[in-house]
Amino acid sequence: MTGPAVTWVVGASGLLGRQVVRRLRDRRHEVVTADIPWHEPDACAGALQDGLAELVSRSDGGEWNIAWCAGAGVVASSAELLQEEGETYSRFLRHVGDQQDVGARGAFFLASSAGGLYAGSTDRPPFTENSEPRPLAPYGQLKLAMEQQLGALSRATGMPALVGRIANLYGPGQNVDKPQGLVSHLCKANLTGQPLSIYVPLDTLRDYLLVTDCAAMVTAGLGDVRRVARSAADPVVVKVMASGRGTSIGALIAESTRVFRRRPRIVLGSSPLASVQSRDLRLRSVRWPELDCYARSTLAAGIASTARDLGRQLRSSAVT
């Protein structure tokens, strides 16, 4: 076999998936994408099976990768939506496990959520791969269950698996219709003059990771996960994907003010969801340090690139 593995990016139209596809193609990797009708369970299952069959066929007996970057759920999502997402993923993993020589040919990346997993952890921040996951919300519970299911499949088959516990992801292409993505909503508030409501204290600490940096970490990780898994006792590699910089919401607002040269209109409020939001979610990775070099963008540069992209969307009336 020659050349890199064929990679199927599931969720290729989403924030992370789009950038993973772009980075792989820029490096002349063969990429599979598929339109998945996520809200139609039977059609969704069929489309995922078809996409898997295409991936295996195009690999022509060689290695293949799956990058699961999909996920419509957020902390505010309903239990029904999260259950549907979990059932879709579980069914898909069973089909992956049925593939011939899955342990020798396949590798899997799962985009998980550091914030969702560590929200209730009693360990002291910054949280690392060694910190105990303790989700507070159903969203975090779903992500932990997805990690555990992938781990069981990986250990049963020998298929290398990379679990990315990702920080607060932001950047070009973020859907500002979803109730998440403070950086993008700050940019929208600055560009439109509309007020932005914030429901947690301004000293709340988060780690903000630019999506292009994260995509670089994902693609480099998938490209080398077989070697790393072989050198470890466990085929599952868990990696905190973060900038390693804790930033308060107050500092984030100040940074956006410097970028835009004006302060956004902020309205402080309250929300029941604040009870499942940890005050301090600083992150630090202690595994696979070679991947950390890709998290190189400054917060100011990330805010500026996000604002440019959102400005284009606003001018084309894609966002109202």
Residue appearing with tokens 């070009």: 172
Classify each residue of 26-35 as buried b or exposed e, where b means 16 or more C-beta atoms within 10 Å of its C-beta: eeebbbbbee
Domain extent at residue 256: 174-206+245-281+296-315
Stated as kind and residue range, the H or E segment containing 247 is: strand 246-248
My answer on whether 106 and 63 are in the same domain is yes
Please check whether residue 186 lies inside any domain of the structure. yes
Find how far residue 203's CA is from the centre of its chain: 24
Is residue 163's pLDDT more than 70? yes
Residue appearing with tokens 């209730």: 120
pTM: 0.93
pLDDT in tens, 72-119: 666 556 778 889 999 999 999 999 999 999 999 999 999 999 999 999
Please check whether residue 289 lies inside any domain of the structure. no
My answer on whether 18 and 56 are in the same domain is yes
My answer on whether 44 and 115 are in the same domain is yes
Separation between Cα atoms, residue 221 and residue 215, nearest integer Å: 10
My answer on whether 188 and 81 are in the same domain is no
Please check whether residue 193 lies inside any domain of the structure. yes
My answer on whether 56 and 122 are in the same domain is yes
Please check whether residue 269 lies inside any domain of the structure. yes
My answer on whether 117 and 15 are in the same domain is yes
Q: Give me the number of domains the chain comprises.
A: 2
Please check whether residue 96 lies inside any domain of the structure. yes
Please check whether residue 34 lies inside any domain of the structure. yes
Q: What would the two tokens of residue 264 be?
A: 């956004």
My answer on whether 36 and 136 are in the same domain is yes
Pairing mode, strands 205-210 and 246-248? antiparallel
Find how far residue 70's CA is from the centre of its chain: 8
CB atoms within 10 A of CB 108: 24
pLDDT in tens, 269-282: 766 655 667 899 99
Please check whether residue 1 lies inside any domain of the structure. no
Contact 279, 250 (CB under 8 A): no
pLDDT in tens, 257-266: 999 999 999 9
My answer on whether 201 and 229 are in the same domain is no
Contact 204, 251 (CB under 8 A): no
237: Cβ–Cβ under 8 A, 6 or more apart, which residues?
160, 161, 162, 163, 221, 225, 228, 229, 287, 288
My answer on whether 214 and 198 are in the same domain is no
Is residue 312's pLDDT more than 80? yes
Stated as kind and residue range, the H or E segment containing 107 is: strand 106-113
pLDDT in tens, 175-210: 887 777 899 999 999 999 999 999 899 999 999 999
CB atoms within 10 A of CB 179: 12
Q: Which domain CATH number covers 264?
A: 3.90.25.10
Tell me which amino acid residue 115 is. G
Give the ranges where 33-137 is alpha helix by DSSP (H): 41-59, 79-97, 102-105, 114-118
Q: Which domain CATH number covers 93?
A: 3.40.50.720
Please check whether residue 82 lies inside any domain of the structure. yes
My answer on whether 82 and 22 are in the same domain is yes
245: Cβ–Cβ under 8 A, 6 or more apart, which residues?
207, 208, 299
My answer on whether 79 and 153 are in the same domain is yes
My answer on whether 151 and 186 are in the same domain is no
Separation between Cα atoms, residue 237 and residue 261, nearest integer Å: 42
285: Cβ–Cβ under 8 A, 6 or more apart, which residues?
128, 129, 239, 240, 241, 242, 244, 291, 292
